[in-house]
Chains A and B, each alone.
Chain A
């Protein structure tokens, strides 16, 4: 089967871009990726969750493609809630791997700051089951809070142990020029921050922000002509799903779809967890990161928070977790996040990430969650 490479990447800073619409944000990221590769895309896949519920904009593939000067090319949107970006990369990966396309642009884009928090909270809750969860007022944060309380009680994990993750994320983000929040916080700040949905506090949660990220996936014959920067291969790309409704999950302390997708991606890439130097994982809430570290094989069940409290996964450790600052501090423009993660890992492997660098990183992983564990997209990237 054909191999798939990353020809170029582009990011916008995550933040409150009141002066930019979906097309403006997409253009900023897409132009960087296209110019870096010097290759014209043959197709566009857009990763986005809420253009329909917030911007009242559908038909997003054609809207973005023709809005950014790619008139006429095939284009469509991929939606998997907060996993939309990762799912878009997965779709584009398969388009290039199949041999049908040689250059597919992925743009993840989301605008969340046009409306007040209560409106955005309802739009985000559409990731859950509309008739049996959203109907009852179970917000997305609320559903994750159900998982967090269950996890903490089952494994006797303290509030203090959970607080190390957001502190590390904020520290990592300080050096990242694309991050939404570049400010260090203390453990006490997390524990004193406002309760959003008990036990989730404000500083356990990713902020609301706008942003766009782009990656240009190319075939081997195009990649072989790229000489400007080291080339990164998408060595593994896999997705798995679970029930959208929390009621029919096997357990509240697990995300089996993560383990399922990771197993496939590891096999495709021929790697094991211990080979991986750097990871960018989905931490919309602290509990997501904790469960992912366990499902992906980096920590035993019930131990991830305790290991973080002992300093594990910090810069210098293998793997280093979320040198970007993660969703917590880099920000989480939901449908763009999965593309941010892939672009950040590509830059880490090339050695040109402008924030916390992971020295001599050769293999990286991204884990993007849609819903509270119902869509899981894993990518393994390797420096060639």
Chain B
């Protein structure tokens, strides 16, 4: 994936601060923010900063990674249900694959996500880490 300065700039607030939107008509929140509510189609939306804590709804440990992630494998990706019920797809960081469980409480942190080797660009975004540090027993 080629990174672009304009794209990094354009997506910075949703990616770094978890900016989503709330629908004035149906009341539901969504992420990433869209020009119309994905649930009811209404265009009457307000921007809202989403809670930075939630629980892991589902997760996967990816061993066959795509180009650009070879040095980061295995990669843990989860769907996190934030405390307001909004779902986000994000990496889990600061945890070993065997420590991750569904229902685990996590908090959002800013992390370096990927580099574009050909242009030297760095893409940052939101990852989630367990709210309680997991210690290895062995």
Binding site for B on A (CB under 8 A): 117-119, 121-122, 125, 129-139, 141-143, 145-147, 149-150, 153, 194-200, 243, 245-250, 252
Contacts and interface: CB of A to CB of B under 8 A. Distances in A.
Which one of A121, A136, A145, A243 has the greatest number of beta carbons of chain B within 10 Å?
A136
B130 interface: no
23 contacts: A118-B65, A119-B67, A132-B31, A132-B32, A133-B89, A135-B1, A135-B114, A136-B113, A136-B125, A137-B75, A137-B77, A139-B65, A142-B77, A146-B89, A147-B58, A150-B79, A153-B58, A198-B62, A245-B32, A247-B86, A248-B31, A252-B57, A252-B79
B31 A146 contact: no
Contacts of B7: 131
Given A118-B66, A139-B66, A247-B88, A146 B125 contact: no
Interface in B87-119: 87-91, 97, 102, 113-114
A122 B58 contact: no
B20 to A, nearest CB: 9
Interface of B: 1, 7, 11, 14-15, 30-32, 34, 38-39, 57-70, 72, 75, 77-79, 86-91, 97, 102, 113-114, 123, 125, 127
B62 A141 contact: yes
Given A136-B125, A149-B102, A130 B61 contact: no
Contacts of A200: 60
Contacts of A198: 60-63, 97
Given A132-B89, A135-B123, A137-B77, A150 B57 contact: yes
A212 to B, nearest CB: 26
Nearest to A147: B58
A149 B32 contact: no
B61 A121 contact: no
Given A146-B78, A146-B79, A150-B58, A247 B31 contact: yes
Which one of A125, A141, A198 has the greatest number of beta carbons of chain B within 10 Å?
A198
Given A135-B1, A137-B77, A252-B79, A125 B89 contact: no
Given A137-B72, A252-B79, A122 B38 contact: no
Contact of B61 (A118, A132, A197, A246): A197
